Structure 1
């Protein structure tokens, strides 16, 4: 499931992030790429151990925690530290697949990939996130503060920026629901359950939906 979520960040949070990034130190993005991915990666990334990186991560992490759509659709068990990328004219990230396992001392599985767009799409040309789920490439260029989440199993790339600057945050999520199809079924079932309650209140049908949702979650969850 590919899901776009609007207004993950408030205008105030976006402004705070932009102020922090304005004079921050960026380094070669290849430093955080895998062996093969670094051959097609051309961008800058915010220095990961800087104070401003820690401050901005805290802002975004709080936004992710409070976003009920993200929590319901992704079911996060662990979220990798966010990376903040900067693409200037001529920069891109070629087709690649994210590493299945990430971390040093403690490994986490990458089940869901996340891109949070940080600046107005009208301020730069190109720079689309391009996902290839074997049904043809899909292009995404969302408004500032909006986010896309998708299975980490997909091949994907960032199209070349031809003008302006593209700012984005990316990370990977270890979900309590490993299988992407199971996550999607639980999300759709929960959506129907909530809609049924809003329309009809607590009925026998609603109770059965709750029972089914709980039992599937019990069956599939890895906690």
Structure 2
């Protein structure tokens, strides 16, 4: 399931994180790439510091408090977040994320865009879904969720700077198709409840949703 979450952070919050990032030191992004992805990765990532950790803690809190993220990802655990930067000429070629990172199985990848899209050219997150390449460039503060199994890349930045936070989720529901089914059922349960309250149809849908989650959750 590909899912864009609008306004995980407000424009003001995203702007504050950009301002904080301006004070940070960055190092070569190849350090966090796998053996083969390292060959096509050319970006920067914020070096460890209390200031960087404060930025990432704000993002982690926003993720934990976002209901759509929680329902779509069903997170069991997450890898440490990375604050990445792409300057003019930098890019990340086609790759698939490592299956295991820091002892966690990677089921879902995500990119939280922090830069205003008008402030840079290029830098799209391009996801291959078997039929076409989908180029994603979201407003500052919005987030893209996508399966870690997909081939994807970041197009070269030709003007300005692209700042983003990236991370990976080990989900309680391992299979992407099952996560999507549960997410759709949750939406249906809420829609029915909003229209008619705790009806017979609501009870049946809620029962199916809960029992499927019980069956599939690790």
Choose 28-37 or 4-13, whichever is displaced more.
4-13
Q: Is the 8 A contact 1:13 1:59 kept in 2?
A: no
**In structure 2, distance between residues paired with 1:9 and 1:73:** 17
**In structure 2, distance between residues paired with 1:157 and 1:191:** 30
Q: Deviations over 1:155-189 (max 9, x none)?
A: 00000001110101100000000000000000001
Matched residue SS, 2:9: coil
Matches within 5 A, 1:126-205: 126-205=122-201
**In structure 1, distance between residues paired with 2:7 and 2:15:** 13
C-alpha displacement at 1:12, in angstroms?
Answer: 3.6
Q: Is the 8 A contact 1:43 1:93 kept in 2?
A: yes
Matched residue SS, 1:142: coil
**In structure 2, distance between residues paired with 1:154 and 1:140:** 14
Matched residue SS, 1:186: helix
Matches within 5 A, 1:85-164: 85-103=84-102, 107-164=103-160
Which residue of structure 1 aligns with residue 56 of structure 2?
57
Q: Normalization by structure 1: what TM-score?
A: 0.96
**In structure 2, distance between residues paired with 1:20 and 1:124:** 19
Q: Normalization by structure 2: what TM-score?
A: 0.98
C-alpha displacement at 1:77, in angstroms?
Answer: 0.6
Runs ≥4 residues deviating over 3 A = none
Q: Is the 8 A contact 2:18 2:163 kept in 1?
A: no
Unpaired runs of at least 5, structure 1? none
RMSD: 0.8
